[in-house]
Structure 1
């Protein structure tokens, strides 16, 4: 059973960077999910993918995986490009865009 170590991205429903500072260790599923015949729900006998561990640094997550002999892969985060723009820039005299009204 392997694990994935990554830094979660900002969700589309938030404007801040909450819960994106930690590194997360998620387990990969060892066996495939099956459709339960009675209700039609998907289920699995493997409970490890339900575990999500959070660490302050990438090195702590790697040390944990190595300490317990968990094979892992590290997904580096993509850099986030912040564009700082003032509301007043929409009405600036020398602005490049054209007015639509």
Structure 2
């Protein structure tokens, strides 16, 4: 089974840093999403796609993946870019 491992980024609309050090392990979908012929709702039989495991660090997540024979893709955290400008720049 394939899984994706990434570090939770800081939420853009909040100034706090709660839960930003957590590592998340999500299972990748391995079957198609299909429409139900009766209701028209979409879904699949892959229930592991609804699970999101949280770990304190990357080593603990990789140890879990190794113990459960998971193929893990590590997604790096995007670099932070700051646009520094003065308040006076709004009026130029």
Alignment TM class, shorter chain as reference: 0.7 to 0.9
The aligned runs of 1:15-94 (5 Å cut-off) are 15-81=15-81, 90=87
Larger radius of gyration, structure 1 or 2? Answer: 1
The change in CA–CA distance for 1:98 and 1:55 in structure 2 (over 3 A counts) is: closer
| Gap regions ≥5 residues in structure 1 | 92-96
Deviations, residues 37-87 of structure 1 (Å, cap 9, x unaligned) = 1111111111001110000101111111011101111011123245788xx
| Gap regions ≥5 residues in structure 2 | none
In the TM superposition, structure 1's runs of 4+ consecutive aligned residues that sit over 3 Å from their partners are: 81-85, 97-100
Q: Which moved more, 1:16-25 or 1:45-54?
A: 16-25
Number of aligned residues: 92
Q: CA RMSD for the aligned pairs? A: 2.4
Find the counterpart in structure 2 of residue 94 from structure 1: none
Normalised by the size of structure 2, how large is the TM-score? 0.81
The change in CA–CA distance for 1:23 and 1:43 in structure 2 (over 3 A counts) is: same
The change in CA–CA distance for 1:98 and 1:61 in structure 2 (over 3 A counts) is: closer
The change in CA–CA distance for 1:39 and 1:98 in structure 2 (over 3 A counts) is: closer
Choose between structure 1 and 2 for higher RCO, CA contacts under 8 A separated by at least 6 residues.
Answer: 2
Higher strand share: 2
